[in-house]
């Protein structure tokens, strides 16, 4: 088999997993709020429902990354993809808040693990290449482009069963992709078979992962990634509620939160995948920060926009910026860590991301009940922009000390 065919055989299933994994989060963030509104759930509880799905990732993402390194990405991804197929179908069967909370946690961790696996595969195969990370990001945007409108259409046509059924079908594509991912061997430690003891997190693994935060490039990238995901926490929670408030249909909400956001997101990621590789970690971090700062502003001004097309313009530009900086995020982390601990590195960043994803919807739900929906967008925007400024100061100090190479 020629080298390019072998490379294509390795890459395509990984990109397929990218299509169906992370987009599952976006789809669920449309259907679950609609389901909660249908059941007349309060804003505070909606915030808990949307935040709690990320809580297991907060606790166990590092352990999950270690499992991926130890057992190989493929078997771990297959197991969690199978869970992602089944869980959505249980929501209409169990229309109680406590059941929704449990299902959200199980479902959330399943999609987290498959997305971590896809990132780890790219990092192991391409060793921090912005070009290949860009291709993975393009695949994610393709999923976000088609998945949410499909789920929104299913909701409009058949209600809860249509919406959650569409998500289950989407996850089936994830399972098939994971099953044809090749086994990747990196480093000196061989991939071994699963043992029951692997389910128990080890303190030494968490300590080793947290020590990676002493590497300035990794620490700054983790902080930027957390703010990035915090902005997604706003978009995937009360942004949907706001769109419903201004009278948009489920299909229109899917077009905005999914298609509109992802359309230029794919373009942004494609731009980076086709451009010459950006080797300078400093340049990557600068671009990451600038695009993130603008993207935060665009989601924070949502209450100023009430019609479909202004909302569409803002969300598509935001998608372009986030699509551009996602490969930078993956590339910096991959370049700054050894091949045999790529899963652990992804787990570290995912832990920070899930902390933001857990806290933001819950905090915003409380804000909505206290100061109202519109004011909550502005307050969250100010907090995220202040965090960006703090990270910029941290970057400047690290550059001045020479802690981050050109």
What is the distance of C-alpha 179 from the center of its chain? Answer: 21
Q: Average pLDDT of 269-277?
A: 67
- Residue 4 within a domain: no
Q: Span 203-211, mean pLDDT?
A: 86
Residue 124 clears pLDDT 60, i.e. is over it: yes
> Is 196 within the bounds of a domain?
no
CATH number at residue 393: 1.20.1250.20
CA distance 300 to 380: 7
Residue 1 has what pLDDT?
45
Q: Mean pLDDT across the stretch 23-39?
A: 84
In a domain, residue 57? The reply is: yes
Model pLDDT, residue 131: 74
pLDDT-based confidence at 127, cuts 50/70/90? low
Residues of the domain holding 168: 11-183+203-401
Q: Please give the pLDDT value at position 83.
A: 95
Do 268 and 324 contact (CB within 8 A), yes or no?
yes
Residue 236 domain-assigned? yes
**Residue 292 domain-assigned (yes or no):** yes
Instruction: Give CA–CA dist 371/364, Å, rounded.
Output: 10
Over residues 243-252, the mean pLDDT reads 82
What would the mean pLDDT of 371-397 be, rounded to a whole number?
Answer: 95
With bands split at pLDDT 50, 70 and 90, how would you rate the model's confidence at 301? very high
Q: Is residue 193 part of a domain?
A: no
- pLDDT for residue 169 is more than 90: yes
Would you say residue 3 lies in a domain?
A: no
Instruction: Supply the pTM of this predicted model.
Output: 0.79
Q: Which residues contact 260 (CB under 8 A, 6 or more apart)?
A: 311, 312, 315, 316, 319
Residue 343 lies in a domain: yes
* Residue 240: both structure tokens together: 């949907």
């Amino acid at each position: 088999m020629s080298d390019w065919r072998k490379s294509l055989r390795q890459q395509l299933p990984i990109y397929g997993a990218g299509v169906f994994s992370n987009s599952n989060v976006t789809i669920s963030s449309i259907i679950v709020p609609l389901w909660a509104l249908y059941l007349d759930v309060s804003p505070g509880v909606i915030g808990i429902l949307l935040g709690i799905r990320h809580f297991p990732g907060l606790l166990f993402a590092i352990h999950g990354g270690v499992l991926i390194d130890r057992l190989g990405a493929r078997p771990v991804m297959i197991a969690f993809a199978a869970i992602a197929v089944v869980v959505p179908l249980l929501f209409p069967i169990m229309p109680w808040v406590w059941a929704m909370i449990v299902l959200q946690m199980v479902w959330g961790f399943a999609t987290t693990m498959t997305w971590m696996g896809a990132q780890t595969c790219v990092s192991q195969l391409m060793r921090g290449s912005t070009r290949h990370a860009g291709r993975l990001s393009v695949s994610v945007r393709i999923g976000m482009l088609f998945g949410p409108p499909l789920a929104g259409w299913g909701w409009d046509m058949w209600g809860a069963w249509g919406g959650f059924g569409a998500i289950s079908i989407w996850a089936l594509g994830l399972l098939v992709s994971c099953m044809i991912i090749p086994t990747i061997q990196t480093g000196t430690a061989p991939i071994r078979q699963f043992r029951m003891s692997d389910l128990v997190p080890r303190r030494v693994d968490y300590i080793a992962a947290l020590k990676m935060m002493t590497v300035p490039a990794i620490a700054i990238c983790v902080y930027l990634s957390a703010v990035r995901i915090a902005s997604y926490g706003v978009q995937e929670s009360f942004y949907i509620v706001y769109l419903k408030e201004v009278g948009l249909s489920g299909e229109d909400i899917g077009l905005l939160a999914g298609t509109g956001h992802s359309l230029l997101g794919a373009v942004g990621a494609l731009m980076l995948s086709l451009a010459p590789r950006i080797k300078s970690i400093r340049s990557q971090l600068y671009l990451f920060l600038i695009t993130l700062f603008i993207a935060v502003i665009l989601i924070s001004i949502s209450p100023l926009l009430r019609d479909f097309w202004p909302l569409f313009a803002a969300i598509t530009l935001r998608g372009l910026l986030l699509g551009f900086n996602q490969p930078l995020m993956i590339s910096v982390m991959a370049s700054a860590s050894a091949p045999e601990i790529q899963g652990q590195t992804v787990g570290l960043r995912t832990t920070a991301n899930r902390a933001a994803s857990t806290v933001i919807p819950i905090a915003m739900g409380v804000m909505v009940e206290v100061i109202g929906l519109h004011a909550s967008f502005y307050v969250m925007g100010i907090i995220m922009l202040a965090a960006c400024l703090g990270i910029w100061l941290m970057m400047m100090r690290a550059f001045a000390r020479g802690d981050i190479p050109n």
